[in-house]
Chains A and B, each alone.
Chain A
Amino acid sequence: MISLAGRDILHAWGKFVFTGFGLGLLIGVTLTMAGVYRGMVDDGKALLDNSGADMWVVQKDTLGPYAESSSLNGDLYRAILAMPGVASAVNVTYLTTQVRKGERDVRSMVVGIVPGGTGATPGWPPYLVAGRQITRGHYEAVADIATGFQLGDRLQIRRNQYTVVGLTRRMVSSSGDPMVFIPLKDAQEAQFLKDNDAIWQSRRRTEANPAFNRPGVPGLLDAIIASQSTNNYVNAVLVRLKAGAVPDEVASSIQRWKRLTVYTRAQMEEILIGKLIATSSKQIGMFLVILAIVSAAIVAFIIYTLTMDKIREIAVLKLIGTRNRTIAAMIMQQALALGLIGFAVGKITATFAAPLFPKYVLLQPQDSIAGFFAVLVICALASVIAIRMALKVDPAEAIGG
Chain B
Amino acid sequence: MKNLPLQRRTLALIAVIVPLLGLLVYVALRSGPLAPVAVTEARVESRAIHPALFGVGTVEARYTYKIGPTFAGRVQRLDVHVGDRAKAGQVLGEMDPVDLDDRVRSQEAALKRAEAAIREASARHAYAQSQARRYEQLFAARSVSEEAVITKRQELAIAEAALAGVKEELVRARSDRDALVAQRSNLRLVAPVDGVVILRDADPGTTIVAGQSVVELIDPQSLWINVRFDQVSASGLAADLPATIVLRSRHGRSLKGRVLRVELMADAVTEETLAKVIFDEIPSPLPPLGELAEVTIDLPALAAAPVIPNAAVQRLGNQTGVWQITNGEPEFIPVTLGRSDLDGHVQVLDGLNDGERIVLYSEKALGAHSRIHVVERIPGVVP
Q: Which of B299-327 contact A (CB under 8 A)?
A: 309-315, 317-318, 320
In whole angstroms, what is the CA distance A138 to B342 when docked?
A: 12
Which of A127, A130, A341, A362 sits near B365, CB closer than 8 Å?
A: A127
The answer to whether the Cβ of B23 comes within 8 Å of any Cβ in the partner chain is: yes
With both chains docked as a complex, state the minimum distance between the C-beta of B68 and any C-beta of chain A, in angstroms: 9
The answer to whether the Cβ of B241 comes within 8 Å of any Cβ in the partner chain is: no
Q: Which residues of B contact A275 (CB under 8 A)?
A: none
How many residues on chain B are close to A (CB under 8 Å)?
60
| Interface 9-residue window, one of B25-33, B81-89, B122-130, B177-185 | B25-33
Complex interface bits, B356-381 against A, C-beta within 8 A gives 1, otherwise 0? 00000111111000000000011011
In whole angstroms, what is the CA distance A381 to B110 when docked?
A: 128
- In the complex with contacts A129-B362, A169-B380, A232-B311 CB distance below 8 A: no
Q: Are A132 and B381 in contact (CB under 8 A)?
A: no
The answer to whether the Cβ of A173 comes within 8 Å of any Cβ in the partner chain is: no
With both chains docked as a complex, state the minimum distance between the C-beta of B85 and any C-beta of chain A, in angstroms: 26
Q: Which residues of A contact B33 (CB under 8 A)?
A: 364-365
Q: Are A135 and B24 in contact (CB under 8 A)?
A: no
The answer to whether the Cβ of A393 comes within 8 Å of any Cβ in the partner chain is: no
Q: Which residues of A contact B270 (CB under 8 A)?
A: 74, 185, 232
Which of B21, B54, B209, B311 sits near A218, CB closer than 8 Å?
A: B209
The answer to whether the Cβ of B20 comes within 8 Å of any Cβ in the partner chain is: yes
Q: How large is the interface on A (under 10, 10 to 19, 20 to 34, 35 or more residues)?
A: 35 or more
In whole angstroms, what is the CA distance A23 to B232 when docked?
A: 61
Q: Are A138 and B54 in contact (CB under 8 A)?
A: yes
Q: Which residues of A contact B76 (CB under 8 A)?
A: none
Please indicate which of the listed interface residues B21, B211, B270 has the most CB atoms of chain A within 10 Å of its own CB: B270
Q: Are A135 and B28 in contact (CB under 8 A)?
A: no
Which residue of A has the minimal Cβ distance to B313? A119
In whole angstroms, what is the CA distance A370 to B7 when docked?
A: 36
The answer to whether the Cβ of B205 comes within 8 Å of any Cβ in the partner chain is: no
With both chains docked as a complex, state the minimum distance between the C-beta of A24 and any C-beta of chain B, in angstroms: 9
In whole angstroms, what is the CA distance A137 to B342 when docked?
A: 10
- In the complex with contacts A10-B6, A116-B230, A135-B341, A351-B364 CB distance below 8 A: no
Q: Are B364 and A169 in contact (CB under 8 A)?
A: yes
Q: Which residues of B contact A363 (CB under 8 A)?
A: 31-32
Which of A117, A136, A169 sits near B342, CB closer than 8 Å?
A: A136
In whole angstroms, what is the CA distance A319 to B343 when docked?
A: 85
Complex interface bits, A145-179 against B, C-beta within 8 A gives 1, otherwise 0? 10000100000000000000111011000000000
Q: Are A136 and B54 in contact (CB under 8 A)?
A: yes
| Interface 9-residue window, one of A96-104, A287-295, A342-350 | A342-350
The answer to whether the Cβ of A49 comes within 8 Å of any Cβ in the partner chain is: yes
Q: Are A137 and B230 in contact (CB under 8 A)?
A: yes
Q: Which residues of B contact A167 (CB under 8 A)?
A: 381
Q: Which residues of A contact B56 (CB under 8 A)?
A: 137-138
Q: Are A126 and B34 in contact (CB under 8 A)?
A: no
Q: Are B314 and A127 in contact (CB under 8 A)?
A: yes
The answer to whether the Cβ of B382 comes within 8 Å of any Cβ in the partner chain is: yes
Complex interface bits, B277-300 against A, C-beta within 8 A gives 1, otherwise 0? 000000000000000001000000
The answer to whether the Cβ of B255 comes within 8 Å of any Cβ in the partner chain is: no
Q: Are B13 and A115 in contact (CB under 8 A)?
A: no
Which of A17, A130, A240, A344 sits near B318, CB closer than 8 Å?
A: A240
In whole angstroms, what is the CA distance A169 to B27 when docked?
A: 21
Q: Are B294 and A138 in contact (CB under 8 A)?
A: yes
Q: Are A368 and B28 in contact (CB under 8 A)?
A: yes
Q: Which residues of A contact B230 (CB under 8 A)?
A: 115-116, 137, 185
- In the complex with contacts A115-B233, A119-B313, A138-B294, A129-B344 CB distance below 8 A: no
- In the complex with contacts A115-B233, A120-B314, A129-B20 CB distance below 8 A: no
With both chains docked as a complex, state the minimum distance between the C-beta of B20 and any C-beta of chain A, in angstroms: 5
The answer to whether the Cβ of A13 comes within 8 Å of any Cβ in the partner chain is: yes
In whole angstroms, what is the CA distance A117 to B17 when docked?
A: 55
The answer to whether the Cβ of A201 comes within 8 Å of any Cβ in the partner chain is: no
Q: Which residues of A contact B269 (CB under 8 A)?
A: 74-75, 232
**Residues of B that sit less than 8 Å from A by CB:** 6, 9-10, 12-13, 16-17, 20-21, 23-24, 27-28, 31-34, 54-56, 209, 211-213, 229-230, 232-233, 269-271, 294, 309-315, 317-318, 320, 337, 340-344, 346, 361-366, 377-378, 380-382
List 30 A–B pairs whose Cβ atoms lie within 8 Å, in order of A's numbering: A75-B271, A115-B233, A118-B320, A119-B314, A119-B320, A120-B314, A127-B311, A129-B380, A129-B381, A131-B344, A132-B311, A133-B344, A135-B341, A137-B56, A138-B56, A145-B380, A150-B382, A166-B311, A167-B381, A169-B378, A170-B364, A218-B209, A218-B213, A243-B317, A341-B20, A344-B20, A348-B23, A362-B32, A365-B33, A365-B34
